[in-house]
Amino acid sequence: MAIWADKNTRVIVQGITGREGTFHAIQCRDYGTQVVGGVTPGKGGTTHEGFAVFNSVREAREKAAANCSLIFVPPPFAADAVMEAADAGMELIICITEGIPVNDMVKAHDYLRKSNARRVAAGETPSRLIGPNCPGIITPGEAKIGIMPGHIHRPGPIGIVSRSGTLTYEAVGQTREIGQSTAVGIGGDPLPGTNFIDCLEAFEADPKTEAIIMIGEIGGSAEEEAAAFVKANVKKPVVAFIAGQTAPPGRRMGHAGAIISGGKGTAAEKMAALQAAGIHVVKAPSEMGAKVREVWGK
């Protein structure tokens, strides 16, 4: 099934009647994703562009058997939307929204941890949050749950995980002939729901994935932690690129999480850690595809 998303995933869109929500719900449906409805509080019972609208995520789960939520709720309300999706038992929660306050996400993560502990204790599947501030997830030919351009993807053996949206598309474009198993955008925020390690672990276990491209950037230490994980646990070849080799320190480079602070989180440090873990690090973003072709199947 590749990882996490496939043709059986039943998706609802939180914020479906908004401009972005409407546009992308249609795009996902056109790709072949099972979009089974949407949620806009106060508009339940109506139909919007052919989608059933519900008042709450719980209602959407009960009436439309949804197990995945795609969130386009504006930043001040997005963390609440994530918690509502978790409460309703959504197994996959994909939050596209950019600009959520860090404190809101700290609370949402805390809620998710507790809610997942209850679910695991009850023998139920815990929720996985992807994002926020991300393009979503796509398993080519099966399901596109996010804002990425579906048509550039082809089913194939390369798993892609990235902190950046358009750089994911770049990697997809460069692996056009080989194809991708699943591409996951984990987002540019400082506190992502799903991190590199989660994706690497899933790709390693996924029989359809044969090689992995990971795209990191400056800020934080997620790449260093991923490097240690790869060294100990990943047998499949991994190619990595780190964006921000020329970024000045102390400046936030577009993404809330992309900042070199106190001399930490530089591209050089990350590249060195990845290299030391046996990962094939490319300096130029244009070399990701060529490098993965070189190491794939060896």
Partner 1 sequence: MKVHEYQAKEILRRYGVPTPRGIVVDNPEDARAAAKELGGRVVVKAQIHAGGRGKGGGVKLAKSADEAADLTKHMLGMTLVTHQTGPEGRLVRKVLIEEALNIDKELYLGITLDRRIGMPVVMASKQGGMEIEEVAERDPKAIHREPIDAVLGAQPFQARAVANALGLEGDAYKKCVDFMQKLMRCYIETDASLAEINPLLVTKEGNVLALDCKMNFDDNALFRHKDIVEMRDLHEEDPLEVEASSFNLNYIKLDGNVGCMVNGAGLAMATMDIVKLAGGEPANFLDVGGGASAEQVKNAFRIILSDKNVKAILINIFGGIMRGDRIAEGVVSASREVGLPVPVVVRLEGTNVDLGKQILKDSGLPLITADGMWDAAQKVVAAAKGQA
- Determine how many CB atoms are found less than 10 A away from the CB of residue 18: 17
Taking the C-alpha atoms of residue 137 and residue 157, their distance in angstroms, rounded to an integer, is: 16
DSSP letters for 178-222: T-EEEEEE--SSSS-SS-HHHHHHHHHH-TT--EEEEEEESSSSH
**Do the beta carbons of residue 185 and residue 134 sit within 8 Å?**
yes
Taking the C-alpha atoms of residue 49 and residue 72, their distance in angstroms, rounded to an integer, is: 16
Decide whether 1 or 178 has the Cβ nearer to partner 1.
Answer: 178
Strand-pair category, 180-185 with 136-139: antiparallel
Distances (CA, A) of 79 to 4, 13, 72: 22, 15, 11
Site for partner 1 contains 75 (CB under 8 A): yes
Among the listed residues 48, 56, 77, 152, the single contact to partner 1 using CB under 8 A? 152
Nearest approach in angstroms of CB 290 to partner 1 is 10
Site for partner 1 contains 173 (CB under 8 A): yes
Site for partner 1 contains 155 (CB under 8 A): no
Taking the C-alpha atoms of residue 108 and residue 113, their distance in angstroms, rounded to an integer, is: 9
**Do the beta carbons of residue 170 and residue 241 sit within 8 Å?**
no
Strand-pair category, 47-48 with 51-54: antiparallel
Among the listed residues 42, 121, 122, 151, the single contact to partner 1 using CB under 8 A? 151
Decide whether 50 or 99 has the Cβ nearer to partner 1.
Answer: 99
181-220 residues near partner 1, rule: CB under 8 A: 188, 190-191, 215, 217-218, 220
Among the listed residues 17, 34, 40, 162, the single contact to partner 1 using CB under 8 A? 162
Taking the C-alpha atoms of residue 34 and residue 12, their distance in angstroms, rounded to an integer, is: 9
Taking the C-alpha atoms of residue 168 and residue 175, their distance in angstroms, rounded to an integer, is: 11
Binding-residue pattern over the window 25 to 54 for partner 1, x denoting contact by CB under 8 A: --x---------------------------
Active site residue 24: no
Decide whether 52 or 218 has the Cβ nearer to partner 1.
Answer: 218
Q: Which of 24, 153, 255, 280 is catalytic?
A: 255
Binding-residue pattern over the window 234 to 263 for partner 1, x denoting contact by CB under 8 A: -------x-xxxxxx-xxxxxxxxx---xx
Decide whether 52 or 79 has the Cβ nearer to partner 1.
Answer: 79
Among the listed residues 110, 275, 276, 297, the single contact to partner 1 using CB under 8 A? 110
What is the binding site for partner 1 (CB under 8 A)? 27, 75-76, 99-107, 109-110, 147-149, 151-152, 162-167, 169-170, 173, 188, 190-191, 215, 217-218, 220-222, 225, 241, 243-248, 250-258, 262-264, 267, 283-286
Active site residues: 255
